[in-house]
Amino acid sequence: MKLRHWAIAAAALLASTTAGFAETAIRATIPANSMFYLPLFVADSQGFFADNDLAVETIITNGDGPDVDALISGSVEFTLSTPNRLLTAYQQGKPLLAVMSIMDRMGIQCFMNKEVAEEIGLDQAMTPEEKFALLKGQVIAGTRPGAFTYLLAVDYLKRAGLVPQEDAQIIGVGTGPAMIASVENKDSAMGCFGSPIVENAVARGKSVWFVNNTAGEDEYYNDFLFVLTYVRPEYAEENPEIVKAFVASLLKANQWIASAADEDLLVEVRARFEGVPDVVLLEAMANMRGAYSQTGQITEQSLSAAAQFLRDTEMLEGDVPWDAVSDNSYLPGN
């Protein structure tokens, strides 16, 4: 009888001492299943969120737009996405807050039909600007008008002194597999997408690299706020400890990705991209490792570069003050 009473008392004590460590349930959106957002999944699978008493549900919205709309409406607490809505929302009087840089380098890369590349004289030793000039008269595929894949093609043409939709046509083709098919069938000469779609396209043998931005080939995009963590300013003010825990978990995931052994990282990537050959995933990982921010800091230069990109592609007007849309104080050590 005494033993039974002791067991009951011990169970009650355990319940009382663990009650304060219940995980906080939060939701986060991402626009697509892409290696850009791998840190979110790593933070979950490696237990970094759990270490910070968070239980995170990830929602893939299949498009950039609905992901940030869900944040603005209050349906989710966090969004990991590209910076276009951060900057345009500010100018629309609906400011959002960037609290961590996930990737501080342009993550969209481009591949070209191999036969077309030979016809126009593409040489991998060319500078990016020399390559861009070869695009005159070509059809370039992005995912949809307004997406970063599409805007990158606009920027390439303008940097070459060409007029988009006059000197070269840019079309939207949708998903990665659809883009590969478009390029291989010569419906478009070139496509722009993220890893591992581009690496997979080249591995299939009918395409070649055009520009590998994630590996830093084009210095123009090397200090560039590309993927960030968004919150609503009022949520961050009311829940600073949750925001700190969330970004601390993501930063640890970024650092883990940078230093993990290939075989360990391959397990994580395979889980997200079933059916993609390991050799392709390994190449994609090699391209991506250096693009994940190791500090999480949002620099004035990276934000300025992203804003300039959006102005050049006519998606943004005027300046956006760095301190009006970003705050590094939630990062560890700040």
72 and 143 fall within a common domain? no
**Across the 334 residues of the chain, what is the mean pLDDT of every consecutive 10-residue run?**
37 41 87 90 97 95 81 94 91 92 95 98 94 96 89 95 96 91 97 94 97 92 94 97 98 96 95 90 92 96 95 92 95 89
143 and 68 fall within a common domain? no
DSSP β-bridge partners for residue 25: 55
Collect all residues with Cβ–Cβ distance below 8 Å to 172 and sequence separation of at least 6. 141, 142, 143, 144, 145, 147, 150
Which of residues 221, 239, 261 is at a domain's end? 221
* Best CA proximity match to 38, nearest among 46, 144, 70: 46
Per-residue pLDDT, 15: 40
Number of domains in the chain: 2
Per-residue pLDDT, 211: 95
306, part of any domain: yes
CATH number of the domain residue 325 falls in: 3.40.190.10
Which of residues 172, 195, 221 is at a domain's end? 221
15, part of any domain: no
Which of residues 221, 255, 283 is at a domain's end? 221
Rounded Cα distance between 94 and 68, Å, is 12
| Side-by-side strand order, sheet with 97-103 | 54-60, 24-30, 78-81, 227-231, 97-103
Region of 284 (left: φ > 0; alpha: ψ -120 to 50; beta: rest) is: alpha
237 and 290 fall within a common domain? yes
278, part of any domain: yes
* Contact in structure between 246 and 328 (CB atoms under 8 Å): no
5, part of any domain: no
Per-residue pLDDT, 119: 97
Rounded Cα distance between 110 and 194, Å, is 8
Per-residue pLDDT, 2: 38
Per-residue pLDDT, 278: 94
Per-residue pLDDT, 94: 84
